Structure 1
Amino acid sequence: MSDQRTRPATTAELESVLRRELTTDRWAAAETAYALAVLHREQGDWTASRVWVRQCLRLLDGFPADTEEQVATRRTAVGGVPIPAYLHEGVVRARFGDPG
């Protein structure tokens, strides 16, 4: 992945990171899927953004979400994309709406 101090990661770079995370750390993969949704939205690719929103929601499904500690993110940014302090279905839907 890119050095976050010089330039944001590309969507291709983040997709590569996510593929690795899917096998090792589902929570990190959810954070990366969220970042991909943001990047695609910023690029005006609403279809791809919705795909990544759905992926993020699938990855979050099954994680407990009863306390702030359970939904607190581990990273403040992924590939240069700011990640919310708390990540759960409500936050994702509030920021992106219904992904369809």
Structure 2
Amino acid sequence: GMSKRIKPGDEAGARTKAMNPMGRVGTMEELQNLAVFLISGGCDWINGETIAMDGGQALAMGGNFYQLRDWTDADWENAREQIKAQNEKDRSARR
């Protein structure tokens, strides 16, 4: 898979298992169940929808800020200092 090319040695799906609220990757059976539901004729009122089959990952990680939950106080302080330094540099450049 793609993750093997990007990070050789990583188990397939390891990043998903670590980050996903359900702690696992989806299964083919789950995808098949959705397909059966959609073609069953019992869902004619559904149209033009995007159905996210991601174990709640998009909801839990919206905005890509999910990884910040692991930041320490030192990480936050470092980020603040970097922002302050960049702001000062930008101010100096405008003078």
Same topology, TM > 0.5: no
TM-score where L is the length of structure 1 = 0.23
TM-score normalized with structure 2 length: 0.24
